[in-house]
Amino acid sequence: MIPSSGLAIEVGAGAPRDVDVIGVPVTATGPVPRQLGLSRARLTELGFEAKPGQTLAVASPSGPSLVAVGLGAPADIGAGVLRSAAAALARAAGTRASLATSLADVEARGLTPGAAGQAVAEGFVLGTYRFSSFKSEAPKPGLSRVVLTAAAGDRAAIATGAARGVAVGEAVALARDLANTPPDHLNAADLAERAIAIAAEPHLRHVRLVQHLDVQLALGGMLGVNRGSTAPPRMIKLTYTPRRPAGTVALVGKGVMYDSGGISLKPSDGMHVLMKMDMTGAAVVLATMSLLPVLRPKVKVIGYLCCTDNMPSGSALKLGDVLTIRNGKTVEIHNTDAEGRLVLADGLSLAVEDEVDAIVDIATLTGAVLGALGKKLAGVFGNEQAWVDQVLAAAERSDERAWQLPLVDDYRKLLDSNVADMKNVGGPYGGAILAGLFLREFVGDVPWAHLDIAGVMDSDADDGIFTKGSTGYGVRLFAELLTNYTPPR
């Protein structure tokens, strides 16, 4: 049930004679590797400037084909550059089965050999990712073997890092697969079954799963959003418990399996089609939980997947209705398309009840964050700067870019209701901030960070490690956050 890339990554002294392609890293300045047989001037004539991720096939009279891959300026080479270069090489290999490269042995700023091996392996796995489950034509075979060449003293560390990189890449692929799946093939109950199957994998013996019908837990937000759907909701809880944990972190994922907007119906445009991806937060949490036994962080992790459809019908949630969230707070509905915060409120309430030490929620929550930050940055909010700083540091290390936005206390009054504790929306401006202020009402004094990934949930085209469709944003960030966790207080 956990997708396999089918990619075998080896580490060796040199390129085997039987490989199909040799990838040759080239920086924008400095000497050009002799094996290319081309000068810098000739490369420039051919249009190759060694920009990061740029590739050029070079004719070879015998033996493996050669592909030059650009790294940009030597001083700028880091994990992100290596990851993107590996993805570019994977695409350049096309349908050829095997490739060798010294990419993991390139001198990079601040990177250990293990970190370089991980970045390159992630790049190859993500660069070969394709979602073809619903294509009538079988996908063409592609890259299945990569040999990373390196100096003798670095090979063991590179191999260890590469193994981790493959595991992380395959977890990202799981999140992408789930988010790319059409909504008629994946509802809340289906995702619960997937979670059960994943938790039953032999290597996941330390991950425990519990699922509940929401009526049993008095999850008023989820039950309210689910009123218009014919598919039942699911609150899915998975727990990873290491020996002697250093603390407990909750990951809360929005799992709106399809968001029509409810009675506040969305316009029928391209964004509406993408609303199958409104469960990306839950997909990322599930994929992260599947990865933890490999990463073996020293922190206990509880994942909450808050899953339901948001559909219009005669029984659907209405404007003016009042819901009671799990923690007892009441919410008057002023827009049924602001439903993600309602299901997250229940998940956050459960996390607080479980007495966790810190919480991160992840959600495709607002179009406002897309307007503010575009499609390259997630928005981050929080109530404890030390915890937000850990999230931002993990974003930096993983190259899953994020930007902190403010929780403006003066705006809280915009959520006041005449008939309930609060409304679910607060006006036409500052929507991402207002959503963050709403969620803050359900975390008490627990250190909490909120990732709004509405802008970064998908890619419009093949670009670096991304393929058109879901990005799986958040898995790599969470991997870094949890393996480097320190108590925020």
> E strands, 108-247, where?
145-149, 207-212, 234-240
Report residue 109: phi and psi, to 5°. Answer: -65, 130
**How, if at all, do strands 448-452 and 358-363 pair?**
parallel
**Nearest partner of 347 among 474, 242, 217, 462, judged by Cα:** 217
Alpha carbon separation from 64 to 23, 103, 138 (Å, rounded): 10, 17, 27
Query: For residues 446 and 468, is the Cβ–Cβ distance under 8 A?
Result: no
Q: What residues have CB less than 8 Å from 268, skipping those under 6 apart? A: none
Q: Which amino acid is at 259?
A: D
**Cα torsion 153, 156, 162, 168: sign:** negative
Residue whose token pair is 């997630």: 378
Q: Determine the distance from the C-alpha atom of residue 355 to the mean position of all C-alpha atoms in its chain, rounded to a whole number.
A: 26
The rounded distance, in Å, linking the Cα atoms of 465 and 322 is: 44
Alpha carbon separation from 264 to 271, 324, 343 (Å, rounded): 15, 20, 17
Alpha carbon separation from 345 to 254, 339, 417 (Å, rounded): 10, 10, 17
Q: Which amino acid is at 485?
A: Y
3-state secondary structure of 307: strand
Q: Which of 227, 234, 326, 341 is an active site residue?
A: 341
Total number of residues shown for the chain: 489
Q: What residues have CB less than 8 Å from 52, skipping those under 6 apart? A: 70, 71, 72, 76, 81, 84, 85
Whether 341 is catalytic is yes
Residue whose token pair is 């420039």: 44
Q: Strand pairing partners for 26?
A: 70
Whether 34 is catalytic is no
Q: Which of 40, 130, 145, 266 is an active site residue?
A: 266
Residues with catalytic annotation? Answer: 266, 341
